Amino acid sequence: MKIVNLIITNFRGIKNAEFQFDGHCLLVGPNNVGKSTICEALDLVLGPDRISRFPPIEEFDFHNAQYIAESNVEGVDFETVPIRIEVILTELSEEVENRCGQHLEFWNTEEKCLLKTGEAEEANPPKVVSCLRLETLGGYNVDEDEFEAQTYYSHSPTAEAGELDRVSKAVKQMFGFLYLRTIRTGSRALSLERGSLLDVILRLEKKSAGLWEKAIKRLRNLDIEIDAPHLDPVLQSIEDRLSKYIASDVDGRATKLYVSQLTREHLRKTMAFFLSLSKDQMPVPFQQVGTGTLNVLVLALLSFIAELKPNSVIFAMEEPEIALPPHTQRRIADYLLNNTTQAFVTSHSPFVIERFEPSQILLLSRKSGTSVSSMKISDTNGLKSKDFQRYARRGLTECMLSKGVIIVEGLTEFHALPVVARLMEENDPVLQPLDISGVVFFDAESESNILKFGTFFKTLGLKTFSYYDYAKREQEKKQQFIDLFDIDFEHPYKGFEQLLVSEVHVDRLWELLNDLRESGDNGSFEIPIVRPNDQKLKELAKSALKGSKGIGWAARLLENCSVAELPKSVTDFLNKVYETFPKSNGIEDTPQEGAVEEGAKANFI
C-alpha cells in the first residue's frame, strides 16, 4: 500500500497545499516550512489511534488558530472554518480491497489523477489502478464547545445525500501507518500505554490476552505489609479514628495497602521496559539509557512491526539523525528504504539524505505565507544523480536548505571568504550576518562546475552568487554567468592566491610566513629567518598559498588582518551580497509549523 496524493487545507502551518508521492519520500526544506505538518496530517488520516484521542485536534491545529470566521450571512455572527486532509492510497492489499470494496475508485498512474464519473472504461491496468480516497474533517462543534475530527471515505456511494461513511479504527489498522516523532515517541515507545510501539507489537502478535487480569490478580495478592509490620499500628490507629465517623461491618481490618489501584490504565502507565547494557549493570528503565540508544531501541521495535506486516507498513519518521552517529543514521535510512512499503522521512543530515535518490527527495518551500509547494530534486536542471550523491556530504544538502548560495571555484576561496565575512560582520553592526540571512558557501571545485551548480540552486528558487578568477572568455560564455547569477563577480586576478598577495599588506604576509616557520606548520616548505624584500616576499607567500590550498593558510592569513586591510576584491563582492539581504528591524515574520497568530475560532463539518 502506498500514498500517492495528499491535500492539506487549514492545518497548522499550511493553509492549502497538494503533494504527490511516488514511493519513498525524503522531505527536506528550511525550518518551519511544513515537513512535520505533512507527517502529522498523514497520521490524522491513517493513524489508528490519533482520532481516538480526546480531543483529536485542538485550537493550534488550525492554521493561525482560526476555527471560526466572520459570517457573510445576514443574522449569523460567525461561521466555522474546517480542517480538511485528503489522502489517496494505491497498491491496496487484498484485505483492504475486500473490506472497502464499495469505496474504491481508480487512479491514473501516468496522469496522476482520479478517473471521473463515466470514465470507468479507461480503468485498464497498469496505467489505471484501484485506489482508496480518505479524508479527515475536523472542526469546532459550537453546541458542544469541543473540537472534533473524523475520517471518512471520500467515495461513499451508499451513504445518505450529503453524508460520508466513516473509516473505522479496524480498517485503519490494516493500513499499517506508523509515525515516529522526533524525541516524543521515544519517551513512551517502550511503555505499555495505548498506541505505544510495544503495545502495537503485543496486539499484532495477539500476546496481550490475559496479561492485565493475571497482573492485577498477582498484585492484589501481594502483601506489602508483611515486610513492614511497623505499619500495622499506624493503619489500625487510622481505622479507629475513621470508625468514629464511618460505620463498618467488615470482619477484621478494613484498610489495606496495594501496589496500585488495580486498573488496566494504571498498569499501562506504570509498567516499563528495563534494559541492561553491561554485565555489571542492573537493568534500568529504558528512559534512563542514552538518547541514541533509545532511538535505536525504537528502531528495533519498528523493524519488528515491519516484519509482522511486511506488505503494508508505511513509516513516517522525523529526523532520524537525532543523537545518532553517522553509521547508525545510514543504517536507519537503508532499513526504511529496503524494508518498508513506503517511508516518509524528514532530515537535515547529509548521511541520511545521501541514501535517497534525487527522485525520492522532495524539497518544500513557501510560495507565500500560507501556501507550500514542493519540487523533486530530480526535476531540477543542471545536476545529474551521480553529482548529487558525490556532493551530498560536501555542503550540497546545507545549500538546499538555505536562502542563498555563494559558489566559489576552489577550496582556498571556500575557506577564506567566510573569514572575511565574519570580520566584516563583527566590525559593522549594520550588516546582517550571512548565517542569519541563510546564505552559505559552496565549493564547486572548478570554474567548469560553477554554472552547473548555479543552475541547480537557481532551479530550487535560491539566490545565487558566483565568485571566480579572471580569465579570457568568449562573450557568450561570460553572458551565461551574468544571466544565471543574481550577483556575478569575476575578480581581476588569474588566481585567488595572486589576489591575496596583491591586496593584503606585506606585513601580514610576513606575519603568516614567520608564524608558519616558528610553529613548524610549514613542513617541508622553506621559509627564511630574515625577511626578504617585498617582491620576493610576495612571490614566497604566493607559492606557500598555492601549495597549501586544503590546509587553510589563506584563511589564517586573513584572520590577522584588520577590516581595513582585508582584500577589496573580496569585500566589494560581499557587500553586494549583504545588500541583497539587508538587516531586518525585528524578528523575521515567517510562518511556523503549528505556530499561530491571534485569530478567532472554527468548526466541524
pLDDT at 157: 93
Give the closest residue to 446 by CA, choosing from 428, 421, 471, 475: 471
pTM of the shown model:
0.77
Residues 491/471, Cβ–Cβ less than 8 Å: no
Task: Judge whether 601 and 66 are in contact, CB under 8 Å.
Answer: yes
Please give the biggest Cα pair distance in the chain: 111
| Mean pLDDT along residues 160-185 | 83
**Would you say 347 and 28 are in contact if contact means Cβ atoms under 8 Å apart?**
yes
Report, as an integer, the average pLDDT of 145-168: 94
Least confident segment among 19-28, 158-167, 328-337: 328-337
Q: Identify which has the larger pLDDT, 272 or 503.
A: 503
* Statement: residue 603 has pLDDT above 60: no
6-20, 315-329, 411-425: range with lowest mean pLDDT: 315-329
Residue 387 backbone dihedrals phi, psi, to 5 degrees: -65, -40
Share of the chain above pLDDT 90, in %: 48
Residue 562: per-residue pLDDT: 95
Kindly state the cell numbers that stand for 403.
536562502
Distances (CA, A) of 431 to 186, 281, 526, 555, 562: 42, 55, 40, 21, 17
Q: What's the CA gap between 600 and 257, in Å, rounded?
A: 50
Phi-psi region at 35: left, alpha or beta (left = phi > 0; alpha = psi -120 to 50) = alpha
Output the average pLDDT for the chain. Answer: 86
For strand 128-141 and strand 104-108, is the pairing parallel, antiparallel, or unpaired? antiparallel
Predicted pLDDT of residue 278: 74
Residue scoring higher pLDDT (504 or 254):
504
The answer to whether residue 82 scores a pLDDT higher than 80 is yes
Residues 211-216 have a mean pLDDT of 82
* For the chain, percent of residues with pLDDT exceeding 70: 91
What end-to-end distance do the CA atoms of the chain give, in Å?
Answer: 28
Whether 98 contacts 49, CB under 8 Å: no
Whether 594 has a pLDDT exceeding 60, the answer reads: no
Cis peptide leading into residue 126 (ω within 30°): yes
Do 572 and 521 meet the contact criterion of CB atoms below 8 Å apart? Answer: no
Question: Omega into 358 within 30° of 0, i.e. cis?
Answer: no
The pLDDT tens digits of the residues spanning 127-140 come to: 899 999 999 999 99
Helix H, strand E, coil C: the string for 81-96 is CCEEEEEEEECCCHHH
pLDDT value at position 368?
64
- Kindly give, in sequence order, each residue whose CB lies less than 8 Å from that of residue 489, ignoring residues fewer than 6 positions away: 465, 466, 467, 468, 572, 573, 576
The model's pLDDT over 21-71, given as tens digits with 9 standing for 90+, comes to 999 999 998 878 899 999 999 999 999 888 888 899 999 999 989 999 888
The string of pLDDT tens digits covering residues 439-471 is 999 999 999 899 999 999 998 889 999 999 999
Res 300 pLDDT > 80:
no
Q: What is the dihedral of CA 358, 362, 397, 489, to 10 degrees?
A: 90
Task: Supply the pLDDT for residue 600.
Answer: 34
Average pLDDT over residues 537-545: 94
Distance CA 561, CA 45 (A): 59
From CA 155, how far away is CA 558, in angstroms rounded?
67
Residue 393 scores a pLDDT above 60: yes
Which of these, 468, 435, 433, 437, lies nearest to 450 by C-alpha position?
Answer: 468
Q: Which helix (H) or strand (E) holds 498?
A: helix 496-503
DSSP-derived secondary structure letter, 166: B
Residue 596's pLDDT band (boundaries 50, 70, 90)?
very low
Range in 128-142, 182-196, 392-406, 480-494 the model is least confident about:
182-196
* Three-class secondary structure of residue 136 per DSSP: strand
- Asked if residue 587 has pLDDT above 60, the reply is no
